[in-house]
Amino acid sequence: MKKASTKRFYFAVTQRCNLHCSHCFNQSGESEETDTLTTDQVCKIVDAACREGYENIQITGGEALLRMDIFEIIDHIHSKNMYLSMQTNGVINTSVVTKLLLLNPKLTEFIVSLDGIQTHSYFRGKSAVQKTIESIRKLSSLFPLRINSLLSAHISRNEITEMIDIARSANASIAFNPISPSGRGKADDMMTCNDYFANMIELQNYADIRIRKGFDYNNGCFNEIEDCPVRKGTAIFVSHNGDCYPCGFLEVHKDLCMGNLVALDYDLNKVFQNYPEKCKIITSECVSCKYYLSKNCFAGCPARIFACSNTFNAREKYCMKEYELITK
């Protein structure tokens, strides 16, 4: 299998979606009737990523599989020998699933969102959960598959266990990430700091499942630093109209737009010349913190910090120093 590169290119090829999730970071939904970018423009953006050495491209939306030309786009990505991570809500009709199962498993993986069982229905609608689980089972029979799950204030420990069982039966990995109040997301939906870390530590009981998180469960700290590419000034998210942002969760903040890739003649170097410096800010309190200095902390998600505080110069809600099991 071709390995997924750590240098990733995120591309929302549409804002249309067959769901209207109450926590959607870019406010996608059925009201979006058309795709702004043509097939040719999408392929030229893929070419631009390839020229700059991106080996892994993550396609998302909205729901990317709603595009009539999505298989033409997938074929173009594969023709560049790029590793495709296809993000989907899993609510896919049978004919599309049949075509997906014919894709090259050496160049394709799927990322399916499942936010619990009852909680999934709360965020995404009652009809979504069973279709999503069915898609996980079908796609994971042939492709590497990761379940993306949000740790929110509404999820129960039983639901987390159920999702791990689903991942285990599908031989899939699973990533648990805290919800962000970006777009339609709300601060009231966020799990408390203590509950978040308590759940992360509880996950140490599932040694047989591939849980994607650089977390040392025994010591209650992050021990595999994933330096945030937003902080490093290397992140790129291309919106459905070609606008570029450091992160998809920052797309709702139009003043952070780095330029339109189509208007800039598909020149990524020109895009990065407009990288907003304030995205790289790490608050002085974090820089002097022992967890940050010992590299046992992510130093916070800048998009989530901004969504919660309206500034990048603030402390992460899920702060290691504040967690009572670490500081006691």
Look up the CATH number of the domain holding residue 140: 3.20.20.70
Q: Does 226 lie in the same domain as 285?
A: no
Q: Does 221 lie in the same domain as 300?
A: no
pLDDT, average across residues 192-220: 69
Backbone angles phi, psi at 316, to 5 degrees: -60, 140
Overall domain count for the chain: 2
Q: Is the pLDDT of residue 1 over 90?
A: no
List the one residue out of 297, 213, 281 whose CA is nearest residue 246: 281
pLDDT score of 227:
60
Q: Measure the CA–CA gap between 7 and 170, rounded to whole angstroms.
A: 27
Query: Is residue 51 within a helix (H) or strand (E), and if so which, with residue range?
Result: helix 39-51
Show which of 230, 265, 300 is a domain's final residue. 230
pLDDT, average across residues 112-129: 84
The answer to whether residue 267 sits within a structural domain is: no
Question: Between 30 and 226, whose confidence is greater?
Answer: 30
Q: Which single residue is written with the structure tokens 């330029």?
A: 259
Q: Does 84 lie in the same domain as 198?
A: yes
Q: Does 140 lie in the same domain as 223?
A: yes
pLDDT band at 123 (very low <50, low <70, confident <90, very high): confident
Q: Does 290 lie in the same domain as 223?
A: no
Query: Is residue 41 within a helix (H) or strand (E), and if so which, with residue range?
Result: helix 39-51
pLDDT, average across residues 118-142: 88
Show which of 230, 264, 295 is a domain's final residue. 230
The answer to whether residue 237 sits within a structural domain is: no
Q: Does 319 lie in the same domain as 209?
A: no
Q: Does 162 lie in the same domain as 33?
A: yes
Confidence (pTM): 0.90
Where in the sequence is the domain holding 198, given as residue range(s)?
8-230
The answer to whether residue 239 sits within a structural domain is: no
pLDDT in tens, 2-19: 444 457 899 999 989 888
Q: Does 206 lie in the same domain as 76?
A: yes
Q: Measure the CA–CA gap between 167 and 133, rounded to whole angstroms.
A: 10
Q: Is the pLDDT of residue 122 over 90?
A: no
The answer to whether residue 222 sits within a structural domain is: yes
Q: Is the pLDDT of residue 217 over 50?
A: no
